Structure 1
């Protein structure tokens, strides 16, 4: 484990977001994502603690309990699912390693297309809600960030949809920081629509449905072990 103190003991954790995408700037926060497990007592007791924990003090950290995490990953929630494809982890345990080994079992063509295109469209909506002129005038960092993440989502989602592999780091950082800001809103709209259409019309290598049975078996087995370990320590 590295020196960073996660708010709950993680089974898997790492740096995600702009740093992982190679889209960080001097003003970017460092984002961390982690997965933790309920103890046996927490699983079986009357009052379960929170299924997600968020902190913003030393670093922006979001953690999900294993059950919630696998439900998010089964929907290919981009901000959660990307954790399983990081090239390196700050924290890794045997249970976390098994979770990573199951990353392809979470995939289904429909959810990947709908999630990544849906999030990209949400960024496009944010972009349209800002002052377009600021985008090319050297200001409005939020507008630039919306545009970068819009195209990053398209790039990542298309790659995952057509190859079954999620590449975290963008292919051409220079394009995102130098060419994209020089484009007019008309050019951005045209390029976004082109890429979105290409994504939507592409053939996928992914299965129609995720392997829910395999994920469910992992979750049940892991939770049973947690209860047994808790009982054995008393």
Structure 2
């Protein structure tokens, strides 16, 4: 896509959880022409995201990506924390975005986005016996990614840093299979996460640095005027 500012390989490849048949997922951010925001249908909301398949790629317009990151959306936030070798496009403005990644974080939003989401999904599992999908393979995948969110979210919440690649991939794969076979296997993990987050103190601020984020976005708009 034209005007791509940042594009990287995300998902299982970035987490170290990929297997031989795993897809390669790409996530990026692009800049719409500034004049487009003055027309009848500005590139916001759904129009601000472009999804392609074969290969799988999702790109968000700069403003939408910024808003998602301000909410600490885990799927989008990971674009800012990739190791250098996983970036396939990184323009000057894309590098500036990575440089201000800490400006997006705030303690309550990180806690809600990582622990809050994972906990709600596990509670649903324990109440209904399944996630949204009934397929065992999907159940296992969802469970291991929820465990990853709990672990990565705790690191992010307590250190202000986010490491995407997991240390022990087998731990997550085994947990996924256990939960797919018996949802009650999630109970001790959920209880442990609840205790860890409740006892933790976060160095993150109570609110994100929106001024720094807006300054970056205004530089994008000026560049594409």
Category of TM-score, reference length = shorter chain? 0.7 to 0.9
Name 1:54's counterpart in structure 2: 51
Q: Kindly name which structure, 1 or 2, has the bigger radius of gyration based on alpha carbons.
A: 1
Distance 1:149 1:196, change over 3 A: farther
Name 1:159's counterpart in structure 2: 155
Q: Which runs of 4+ in 1 moved over 6 A?
A: none
Q: Given the alignment, which residue of 35, 38, 46 partners 1:41? A: 35
C-alpha distance after superposition, 1:11-56 (max 9, x if no partner): 0011111111111233432211110001133233343242111112
Computed over aligned residues only, the root mean square deviation of the Cα atoms, in angstroms, reads: 2.2
Distance 1:155 1:8, change over 3 A: farther
CA apart distance, 1:125? 4.5
SS at match of 1:155: helix
Q: 2: distance between equivalents of 1:179 and 1:51? A: 36
Map 1:62-211 to 2 at 5 A.
Answer: 62-88=58-84, 89-125=87-123, 127-128=125-126, 129-130=128-129, 140-178=136-174, 181-182=177-178, 184-211=182-209
Q: 2: distance between equivalents of 1:178 and 1:47? A: 47
Q: 2: distance between equivalents of 1:180 and 1:69? A: 30
CA apart distance, 1:122? 4.2
Q: 1: distance between equivalents of 2:8 and 2:67? A: 19
1:20 equivalent in alignment to 2:17: no
Contact 2:103 2:209 in 1 (8 A): yes
What stretches of structure 1 of length at least 5 have no aligned partner?
1-6, 228-234
CA apart distance, 1:152? 0.2
CA apart distance, 1:76? 0.5
Contact 1:123 1:146 in 2 (8 A): no
TM-score, normalising length: structure 1: 0.83
C-alpha distance after superposition, 1:51-94 (max 9, x if no partner): 111112x1221111001110110110101111000003011000
Name 1:225's counterpart in structure 2: 223
Matched residue count? 215
Contact 2:69 2:77 in 1 (8 A): yes
TM-score, normalising length: structure 2: 0.86
CA apart distance, 1:187? 3.4
What stretches of structure 2 of length at least 5 have no aligned partner?
none
Q: 1: distance between equivalents of 2:178 and 2:151? A: 19
Contact 2:115 2:150 in 1 (8 A): yes
